[in-house]
Copies of this chain bind each other. A is one copy, B any other.
Amino acid sequence: MSKIVTFGEIMLRISPEDGYRLFTDGRARLCYGGSEANVAALCAQLGVDAAFVTRLPDNAAGDGAVRHLRQLSVDVSGIVRGGDRLGVYYYEKGAGVRPAQCVYDRKGSSFACSSYEDYDVDGMFSHADHFHLSGITPALSGKMPDICLRLIREAKERGLTVSYDLNHRTKLWNACENRSVTETLLPYTDVFIANMYQCNEVLNLGVDTSSEERACIAVCREIMKRYGTKTVALTVRKTFSADRNGFYGMTFDKENALFSRKYETGIVDRVGSGDAFDAAFISSVIKGYDLQTAVEYGAAAAVLKHSIEGDVAYLTEDEIKNAANGGDGRVSR
Interface residues in chain A, defined as those with a beta carbon under 8 Å from any beta carbon in chain B: 12, 14, 17-31, 59-61, 63-65, 67-68, 70-73, 84-86, 88, 90, 92, 94-105, 107-108, 169-171, 239-244, 263, 265-271, 300, 303-304, 306-310, 314, 319, 322-323, 327-333
A30-B28, A314-B24 as given contacts; A333 in contact with B104, CB under 8 Å: yes
Closest Cβ of chain B to A276, distance in Å, is: 12
- Would you list the 7 A-B pairs with minimal beta carbon distance, nearest first? A23-B64, A242-B329, A19-B309, A71-B71, A95-B307, A102-B333, A96-B307
The reply to whether A97 and B67 contact each other, CB–CB distance below 8 Å, is: no
Residue from A21, A31, A59, A73 having most chain B Cβ neighbours under 10 A:
A21
| Stoichiometry, copies per complex | 6
Within 8 Å by CB of A304, from B24, B63, B68, B97, lies B97
Complex Cα–Cα for A269 and B14 (A): 22
Provide the residues of chain B in CB contact with A105, threshold 8 Å.
61, 84-86, 88
Nearest B-chain residue to A63, judged by Cβ: B23
The reply to whether A319 and B98 contact each other, CB–CB distance below 8 Å, is: yes
The reply to whether B26 and A14 contact each other, CB–CB distance below 8 Å, is: no
Provide the residues of chain B in CB contact with A31, threshold 8 Å.
26
Closest Cβ of chain B to A82, distance in Å, is: 14
Provide the residues of chain B in CB contact with A171, threshold 8 Å.
332-333
Provide the residues of chain B in CB contact with A322, threshold 8 Å.
99
Closest Cβ of chain B to A304, distance in Å, is: 5
Q: 13 additional contacts, CB 8 Å, given A61-B90, A96-B303?
A: A28-B29, A60-B90, A60-B92, A60-B101, A97-B263, A97-B300, A97-B323, A98-B323, A100-B332, A107-B108, A241-B265, A242-B307, A242-B329
The reply to whether A60 and B23 contact each other, CB–CB distance below 8 Å, is: yes
The reply to whether A327 and B267 contact each other, CB–CB distance below 8 Å, is: no
Within 8 Å by CB of A71, from B70, B88, B107, B243, lies B70
Nearest B-chain residue to A300, judged by Cβ: B97
The reply to whether A97 and B333 contact each other, CB–CB distance below 8 Å, is: no
Complex Cα–Cα for A31 and B27 (A): 9
Complex Cα–Cα for A116 and B59 (A): 32
The reply to whether A330 and B239 contact each other, CB–CB distance below 8 Å, is: yes
Q: Can you list 10 residue pairs at the A/B interface with Cβ under 8 Å? A: A12-B23, A14-B30, A28-B29, A60-B101, A67-B72, A84-B107, A102-B332, A108-B108, A241-B328, A271-B331
